[in-house]
Structure 1
């Protein structure tokens, strides 16, 4: 701040000197030296007064700034006190709210405990007749010392019954699993039996078709055998006729029989030659 004021005063002094230096030459020449000295002194006095007024103004401004700083410091301190008091108030309020919430929770817990005690009391009243019944049963049985011993005995019996029931349930489950496996096996066997029946029906159909084919082939074979027999008989008749003709021709023409009796082809050739010879003779 002091450097700014000094710079401002220097600028004002330079402005004053610039004004003095810009005085017209004819005015400076016409003035007396004493007058010029007075003018210079007056200018210096004016500059000094201006500097003094600026310093006074700067001092007042600094005082106002100091007062402002003090006021700001006091206000900051007051605000800090207010904030601290407000924080303390909030903390106290939070503690009070927490205590109120804790009190409400304890009150609810107390109400719950009272309700639970009331339920237990009602249950005790409802179970009292069972206690009387157990004491009467204990007196009637005469084999237990007190009710807890009797309850322990019946507890053991109940556990044994539960174990037997569990074993029975496990047996029922195993039985159900066995039945399920048997059912699946029966279904598989039924499916396989149906498939086997289908295959058997197909085989039966193939057997019937084979039988029909056998009958057809047997009929064909019988027909072939019958035809072969007829052809054989006809062939025998033809051979016999050829032999008769051959013997007749050779006897009539007195040709020596140098052909075997079974050689029908040679006999036919001989007959053909004889017939050609007769044809030539007749021609």
Structure 2
């Protein structure tokens, strides 16, 4: 029987590609996936039953192991369930054989007992029963030992798995610390690079400042030399000032210099005041010139206007004589017309009165209203020839 399972195990290793990525904890789980895998294994064992029955009926002269190998029990069969069971954990070949013995040994034993050997058929039923009980007891004892061994191995595997879990956590912690260490080192490196760049930039700036300071120092040295030469050249003036102090009311040279500066300042102020006064005079002269020019223009305009008015006056004077003669003529004509008008009015009044007397009518007509008088005379009197007026 052990040879049969070893043959099955070898065939599984030959026909199945083992996958090692499924956690070992799934071995003891009772999930639907594991139950389905066990069910598929049961189907394989039931298929073995047909092969063993064929061996019992027709090929008992052959060894069962060789018969299973010769007929390729797993050829063309779906062995994914066996592959999945093997991939549930990191298992050795003996562990897989133990699994099949524990799970399916009893069924295979019952299957083989259903087909006894030819030698056993000649024994009596009581002897066969005793032998079967003995074999069953031996098999049960062996199975218990195998279960205990398998249990110890599973405990060992669980312990190893727990140790691996602890090591994995430790490794994760170490990895996390290492990543943190790397991150800190990167940050330190970045800070160091920034600091180095800043220091290099500061160094370049200091070098530029140093070069500029050197240039300024060289310029100051040249200026010092120039001033030294100038001071040496001006030393004669110092001697002159010393002599001035000796022969004047001043006691120190700086008093002479202060007095000189005061005089220079006063001279500058006076010159500035004179310049301002001169500018004021110039501005006043300019204003006077503009004023005189404007007044000359006005005088010229007034002279032109005066000449024009004089011409108008002369023309008016010449016209006065003409208009006076005309006025005298008008007055004479007006006097004549007035006299004629008075005569006409008197004649009209006389006619009106004559007509009124002849007609014996009394008309309410004003003596000054000549027009009504003429109207009444013209409307009521006969022609001039019929009037008795000589």
Report the TM-score when normalising by structure 2: 0.41
Give yes or no for the alignment of 1:149 onto 2:246. Answer: no
Distance 1:51 1:216 in 2: 156
What is the match of residue 213 of structure 1?
319
**1:201-226 deviation per Cα after TM superposition (whole angstroms, max 9, x unaligned):** 22112212211211222444577799
What is the match of residue 290 of structure 2?
184
**1:50-105 deviation per Cα after TM superposition (whole angstroms, max 9, x unaligned):** 2104999xx79x69x85994796365465456445544543543454344344334
1:132-143 equivalence runs, <5 A = 132-139=239-246, 141-143=247-249
What is the match of residue 104 of structure 1?
211
**1:179-216 deviation per Cα after TM superposition (whole angstroms, max 9, x unaligned):** 23322321332232223223212211221221121122
**1:91-126 deviation per Cα after TM superposition (whole angstroms, max 9, x unaligned):** 543454344344334323422332332232132123
Give yes or no for the alignment of 1:169 onto 2:275. Answer: yes
What is the match of residue 52 of structure 1?
89
- 1:51 is paired with a residue whose SS is coil
1:146 and 1:17, CA in 2 relative to 1: closer, same or farther beyond 3 A?
A: same
Whether contact under 8 Å (2:41, 2:82) holds in the other structure is: no
What is the match of residue 236 of structure 1?
none
1:209 and 1:116, CA in 2 relative to 1: closer, same or farther beyond 3 A?
A: same
Distance 2:188 2:214 in 1: 38
- Aligned match of 2:299 in 187, 193, 206? 193
Distance 1:195 1:7 in 2: 131
What is the match of residue 128 of structure 1?
235
Report the TM-score when normalising by structure 1: 0.53
Give the CA deviation at 1:152: 2.7
Distance 1:226 1:70 in 2: 147
1:113 and 1:8, CA in 2 relative to 1: closer, same or farther beyond 3 A?
A: farther
CA RMSD in angstroms comes to 5.2
What is the match of residue 16 of structure 1?
37
Distance 2:199 2:318 in 1: 116
- 1:52 is paired with a residue whose SS is coil
- 2:217 is paired with a residue whose SS is helix
Deviates more, 1:68-77 or 1:125-134: 68-77
What is the match of residue 226 of structure 2?
119
Distance 2:321 2:288 in 1: 47
1:66-85 equivalence runs, <5 A = 66=172, 69=175, 73=179, 76=183, 79-80=186-187, 82-83=189-190, 85=192
Q: Which runs of 5+ in 1 are unaligned?
A: 33-41, 232-272, 274-283
Distance 1:212 1:89 in 2: 116
Distance 1:214 1:159 in 2: 79
Distance 1:78 1:125 in 2: 68
Flag the structure with higher helix content: 1
Whether contact under 8 Å (2:40, 2:81) holds in the other structure is: no
1:189-268 equivalence runs, <5 A = 189-220=295-326
Matched positions, count: 219
Select the structure with the greater relative contact order (CA < 8 A; seq sep ≥ 6). 2
1:147 and 1:84, CA in 2 relative to 1: closer, same or farther beyond 3 A?
A: closer
Give the CA deviation at 1:172: 1.6
